[in-house]
Amino acid sequence: MRQRLIIIVTLVAVVVVLVLLNAASYVKVEPTRDSESTPDRSSYNAGATGTRALYDFLHESGYQVIRWREPTSSLLSSSGPKPATVVVIGDTRIPFSTVESKEILLWVQSGGRLVIIDRTPDQKLLPKSGDWTIKALLTNFPWSDLDPTDFEQMTREVKPLSPSQPTLLARNVETVMPSRFASAISFIRFPSLKKTDKPNAHDEPSGGESNDDEDSEAGAKPTPDISTPTGNTTSVSPAPVTSFAADRGSLLIDYPHGKGRIVLLSDPYIVANNGINRADNLQLAINVVMGGGGLIAFDEFHQGRGSTHNALIQYFAGTPVLAICGQLMLIALAVVWSRGTRFARPLPLAHVDRRSSLEFVASMAELQQRAKAHDLALENIYNRVRRVLVRHAGLNQNSSRAQIAARVASRSKLDEKQLESLMRSCEDTINGAPTNARETLRLVRGLREIEARLGLQGRARDAKQNEMRT
């Protein structure tokens, strides 16, 4: 017991020392301040550059919105609910790979709706629409010490924009207030040549052909969405539709891709926490994100908050809790290993006497049942108990049973007459008196009770004497 107490005290002391060391070496990680140069556009971020205000507003207003934390491959799987719209905001922490961009464009092609809100969108997510190529040009870069909560710094020399034409994205919107860092979206048409055409550098464009210079001015002449019926099918014009345009280019466009549609907004400030309450930015954000309704998924997987990351480990990241748990596991393994390793010579197993007080009687009873020898079974037990009683009384083996009973009764609380009567019955049975199994068992139990009440433990004492003799 003392050794166990020492081990327990040692383990407690080691744990206390480890906790003190971890607490002394712990350095609190200060939260990173929001910056427009390195923004965090996650819907979990309640800072100036985050989009939590928009997500909470949509969720509390009854819209079907979720945070999508699965990879893009789950959009093409047949299991689980599928969103109608996927919203990708800002320069994501985890960039889209080539495979991921192909997967999400296949999903759009099958009827999905992709909303991209970014100043420098990934070109892999902006495929060509027919002969039209879409690009975004950023001319004004935010500096590192810019305060994103300062409205004057964010919108200096910027005027509110009105819709350039009535579209569904501009519904119920009078003016929007972008930031000074919004990029300009341009789309240029490069007509594809047929096999029968023979281009000539000196040929002049015909009157029916469109001029590329005029088509390149996306902000000046937005192209409407034109649907031309052809028999039983309807062909949708691949030309992008501009809903808001500034002097340098378009702010918001959308265009078809397969059966789906891609929406591009060139300024995250309109949907971010620091700009969503300006002008009609909130209404425009609702129009852009919700579209035709259905389940709306905010991409959090590429914001570094995928479901593959353990939320509990992320919660304790940067604290000494994880280090303490690891050290405790090492201590536990060391204890288990030490308990299973022998540090000295092998010791024999402890001998446990599994025999009961009546096991010998049961064995002899089986023999006497076969041989009808009740007197032999009782003789073996009575002779050993009589030797113990003689030794306890301080007499010799030639003493009579009356003397033995009287001396034992005087040294204990046993009744002299009962003890003498028991000894007489045992001797009569041994000498040939008629008996049976029940009577023999009663006499043996009486001898066992006397031995137990006197605490003689004759069997153990005989075993010790035999060992000393050998």
Q: Using CA atoms, how far apart are residues 359 and 344, in angstroms rounded to an integer?
A: 37
DSSP assigned state of 169: G
Query: Structure tokens of 324?
Result: 């303490």
pTM (predicted TM-score) = 0.57
List all residues 6 or more positions away from 77 whose beta carbon is below 8 Å from its beta carbon: none
Yes or no: say if 168 and 261 are a contact pair by the CB < 8 Å rule: no
User: Mean pLDDT over residues 387-400, rounded?
Assistant: 86
Q: What percent of the chain has pLDDT over 90?
A: 32
| Residue of 212, 131, 139 whose CA lies nearest to 181 | 139
Q: What pLDDT was estimated at residue 381?
A: 82
Beta-carbon-side half-sphere exposure of residue 102 (alpha carbons within 13 Å): 3
DSSP assigned state of 176: B
Mean pLDDT taken over the chain: 80
Quote the strand ranges of 258-329, DSSP E: 260-265, 296-299
**pLDDT: is 158 or 204 the higher one?**
158
Yes or no: say if 52 and 271 are a contact pair by the CB < 8 Å rule: no
CB-CB neighbours of 218 under 10 Å: 24
CB-CB neighbours of 77 under 10 Å: 9
Supply φ then ψ for residue 388, to 5 degrees: -70, -40
Q: SS3 for 180?
A: coil
* Per-residue model confidence as pLDDT tens digits over 119-171: 999 999 999 988 899 999 988 888 888 888 888 889 988 999 999 999 999 99
Q: In this model, does residue 47 exceed pLDDT 80?
A: yes
Q: In this model, does residue 346 exceed pLDDT 90?
A: no
Q: Using CA atoms, how far apart are residues 279 and 150, in angstroms rounded to an integer?
A: 16
Quote the strand ranges of 365-406, DSSP E: none
CA 235 centroid distance within chain: 48
